[in-house]
Amino acid sequence: MSKNPYPIVEVEWDDSCASGGWRTVDAYKDSQTSTCHTAGYQLVKDRKRIIIIQSRSEDTGNVTDAITIPMSAVKNVVRLSPAERKKK
Protein backbone atom coordinates (compact mmCIF):
# COMPACT_ATOMS: atom_id res chain seq x y z
CA MET A 1 0.00 0.00 0.00
CA SER A 2 1.38 3.41 -0.96
CA LYS A 3 1.55 6.23 1.58
CA ASN A 4 -1.43 8.56 1.48
CA PRO A 5 -0.17 12.07 0.55
CA TYR A 6 -3.34 13.80 1.81
CA PRO A 7 -4.44 14.31 5.42
CA ILE A 8 -7.81 12.89 6.38
CA VAL A 9 -9.99 15.61 7.92
CA GLU A 10 -13.50 16.45 9.06
CA VAL A 11 -14.74 19.94 8.18
CA GLU A 12 -17.59 21.63 10.05
CA TRP A 13 -19.11 24.39 7.93
CA ASP A 14 -22.18 26.56 7.42
CA ASP A 15 -24.21 25.98 4.28
CA SER A 16 -26.92 28.06 2.67
CA CYS A 17 -30.49 26.81 2.83
CA ALA A 18 -33.05 27.60 0.18
CA SER A 19 -36.81 27.28 0.23
CA GLY A 20 -39.39 28.10 -2.35
CA GLY A 21 -43.07 28.43 -2.76
CA TRP A 22 -45.60 30.78 -1.27
CA ARG A 23 -44.98 31.40 2.43
CA THR A 24 -45.58 34.20 4.87
CA VAL A 25 -42.88 36.81 5.40
CA ASP A 26 -42.49 35.59 8.99
CA ALA A 27 -41.90 32.01 7.79
CA TYR A 28 -39.01 33.22 5.61
CA LYS A 29 -37.63 35.34 8.45
CA ASP A 30 -37.29 32.14 10.51
CA SER A 31 -35.01 30.52 7.90
CA GLN A 32 -31.60 29.40 9.17
CA THR A 33 -28.34 28.19 7.69
CA SER A 34 -27.39 24.52 7.99
CA THR A 35 -24.32 23.25 9.83
CA CYS A 36 -22.70 20.49 7.76
CA HIS A 37 -19.91 17.99 8.38
CA THR A 38 -17.75 16.71 5.53
CA ALA A 39 -14.99 14.12 5.95
CA GLY A 40 -12.39 13.02 3.44
CA TYR A 41 -8.94 13.67 2.04
CA GLN A 42 -7.81 17.32 2.19
CA LEU A 43 -6.50 18.13 -1.26
CA VAL A 44 -6.10 21.92 -0.85
CA LYS A 45 -6.42 24.36 2.03
CA ASP A 46 -5.61 28.02 1.61
CA ARG A 47 -7.09 31.27 2.87
CA LYS A 48 -9.95 31.15 0.32
CA ARG A 49 -11.03 27.49 0.20
CA ILE A 50 -10.63 23.94 1.37
CA ILE A 51 -11.06 21.10 -1.13
CA ILE A 52 -12.03 17.67 0.17
CA ILE A 53 -11.96 14.55 -2.02
CA GLN A 54 -13.82 11.33 -1.31
CA SER A 55 -11.57 8.72 -2.91
CA ARG A 56 -8.14 8.25 -4.44
CA SER A 57 -6.65 5.43 -6.49
CA GLU A 58 -3.38 3.87 -5.35
CA ASP A 59 -2.83 2.56 -8.88
CA THR A 60 -3.26 5.77 -10.89
CA GLY A 61 -3.12 8.56 -8.29
CA ASN A 62 -6.44 9.87 -9.64
CA VAL A 63 -9.05 11.28 -7.27
CA THR A 64 -12.84 11.60 -7.42
CA ASP A 65 -15.82 13.41 -5.94
CA ALA A 66 -14.52 16.74 -4.65
CA ILE A 67 -16.24 19.49 -2.72
CA THR A 68 -14.81 23.01 -2.53
CA ILE A 69 -15.89 24.86 0.61
CA PRO A 70 -15.20 28.60 1.05
CA MET A 71 -13.04 29.23 4.13
CA SER A 72 -15.51 31.99 5.08
CA ALA A 73 -18.04 29.18 5.73
CA VAL A 74 -15.66 26.89 7.67
CA LYS A 75 -16.16 26.72 11.43
CA ASN A 76 -13.63 24.00 12.28
CA VAL A 77 -11.24 21.51 10.67
CA VAL A 78 -10.12 18.41 12.61
CA ARG A 79 -7.42 16.06 11.40
CA LEU A 80 -8.48 12.41 11.70
CA SER A 81 -6.30 9.34 12.14
CA PRO A 82 -6.57 6.69 9.43
CA ALA A 83 -7.70 3.24 10.52
CA GLU A 84 -4.84 0.77 10.62
CA ARG A 85 -5.18 -2.38 8.54
CA LYS A 86 -4.66 -5.65 10.32
CA LYS A 87 -2.08 -7.87 8.65
CA LYS A 88 -3.38 -11.31 7.73
What is the pLDDT at residue 43?
A: 96
Kindly provide the residue ranges of all beta strands, DSSP E only, lying in the chain, ordered along the sequence.
Answer: 8-15, 34-45, 49-56, 63-70, 74-80
**Domain spans in the chain, listed from the N-terminal domain onward:** 8-80
Q: pTM of the predicted model, to two decimals?
A: 0.82
Q: What is the pLDDT along the chain (88 residues), one digit of tens a residue?
A: 567 789 999 999 999 988 889 989 998 888 899 999 999 999 999 999 999 999 999 899 899 999 999 999 999 999 998 776 566 5
What is the pLDDT at residue 8?
A: 95
What is the pLDDT at residue 15?
A: 96
CA-nearest of 35, 64, 22, 69 to 50 is 69
What is the pLDDT at residue 74?
A: 98
